[in-house]
């Protein structure tokens, strides 16, 4: 490690989300002091139910409120910022593009402008996505692949990425950008996502419902591996001016079709029921997967838990949540 995390004030936006809660837990394990900007109270969110909120500084506010972000950065002498807050559900982005654009795009420039005006901030990690690349003819995506999102959610992540690079290059804001595939793990309460939805259906003895036609190919990344990716990214910014504004892909390196992922989930749950393939999903890119060579060589990052062990941990979490017998 290049950072001394002990007692370090660290702002996490999006702490109540899937990856945010696991990142907060990892930071606490390192001895850091998480400061979490929270807009909505979701009682069932892992951030609250696992006791993470009681071990963190919780500030009420919205990432679109620059004065609120600057107050938090200043009053808690924040040194490192992880900007994860976003509207992440593709169907919601299709139905409500304006709220998605406001949170994902305006929220990004607001947080970055507050960081630019806060002299104690020395690392900023911005969570982009593989969706920022949009649909491409050549796969896997590398960090040099053009950003060309077209659907609302994809566009919001392309803009997040470009705005971040602008702040790094124009004002030398010490930031780096993460681009990850589809996260999965305990704590995801959006059951219209593939992994938690299929797990819940199988645990409750129902045929899992698949919105797409099942052929789309995606990268999947377990949340604890994702949290380690964010931390590794923050550590590379410290004292490494040549890496400011750099983007990193993070991937297990095992692209799977939706139906192949359903098979993996079925094995982890131990209940086999044929899926109901609806084929109703819109604005879905046929294939998206990442080349994580840069993260492995420059950051020394590699997934520790991986896909199948991650699915086993995830299934155990949902069995506990749903009160099901193992």
Examine the residue annotation and report whether 153 is marked as an active-site residue of this protein: yes
Pick from 177, 82, 59, 66: nearest CA to 118: 66
Instruction: Give the 3-state DSSP-derived string for the chain, with helices as H, strands as E and coil as C.
Output: CCCCCCCCEEEEECCCCHHHHHHHHHHHHCCCEEEEEECCCCCCCHHHHCCCHHHCEEEECCCCCHHHHHHHHHHCCCCEEEECCCCCCHHHHHHCHHHHHHHHHHHHHHHHHHHHCCCCCCEEEEECCHHHHCCCCCCCECCCCCCCCCCHHHHHHHHHHHHHHHHHHHHCCCEEEEEECEEECCCCCCCCCHHHHHHHHHHCCCCCEECCCCCCEECEEEHHHHHHHHHHHHHHHCCCHHHCCCEEEECCCCCEEHHHHHHHHHHHHCCCCCCEECCCCCCCCCECCECCHHHHHHHCCCCCCCHHHHHHHHHHHHHHHHCCCC
Residue from 133, 153, 222, 318 carrying the catalytic annotation: 153
The encoded tokens of residue 232 equal 């590794």
Q: How far apart are CA 59 and CA 191, in angstroms?
A: 27
Distance (Å, rounded) from C-alpha 232 to C-alpha 193?
A: 27
Q: Which residues are catalytic?
A: 153
């Amino acid at each position: 490690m290049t950072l001394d995390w002990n007692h370090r004030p660290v702002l996490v936006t999006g702490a109540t989300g899937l990856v945010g809660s696991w990142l907060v837990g990892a930071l606490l394990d390192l001895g850091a002091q998480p400061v979490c900007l929270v807009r909505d109270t979701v009682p069932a969110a892992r951030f609250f139910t696992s006791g993470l909120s009681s071990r963190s500084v919780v500030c009420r506010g919205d990432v679109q409120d620059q004065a609120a972000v600057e107050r938090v950065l200043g009053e808690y002498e924040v040194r490192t910022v992880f900007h994860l807050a976003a509207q992440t559900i593709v169907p919601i982005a299709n139905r409500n593009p304006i709220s998605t654009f406001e949170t994902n795009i305006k929220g990004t420039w607001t947080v970055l402008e507050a960081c630019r005006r806060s002299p104690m901030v020395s690392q900023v990690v911005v969570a982009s996505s593989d969706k920022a690349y949009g649909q491409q003819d050549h796969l896997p995506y590398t960090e040099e692949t053009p950003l060309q999102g077209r659907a609302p959610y994809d566009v919001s992540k392309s803009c997040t990425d470009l705005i971040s690079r602008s702040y790094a290059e124009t004002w030398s804001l010490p930031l780096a950008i993460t681009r990850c595939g589809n996260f999965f793990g305990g704590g995801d309460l959006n059951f219209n996502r593939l992994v938690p939805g299929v797990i819940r259906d199988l645990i409750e003895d129902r045929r899992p419902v698949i919105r797409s036609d099942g052929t789309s190919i995606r990268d999947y990344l377990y949340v604890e591996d994702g949290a380690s990716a964010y931390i590794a990214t923050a550590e590379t910014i410290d004292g490494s001016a040549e890496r400011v504004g750099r983007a990193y892909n993070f991937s297990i390196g095992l692209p799977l079709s939706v139906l192949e992922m359903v098979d993996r989930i079925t094995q982890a749950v131990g209940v086999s029921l044929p899926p109901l393939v609806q084929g109703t999903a819109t604005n879905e890119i046929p294939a998206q997967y990442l080349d994580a060579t840069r993260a492995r060589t420059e950051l020394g990052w590699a997934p520790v838990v991986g896909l199948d062990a991650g699915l086993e941990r995830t299934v155990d979490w949902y069995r506990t949540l749903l009160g099901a017998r193992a």
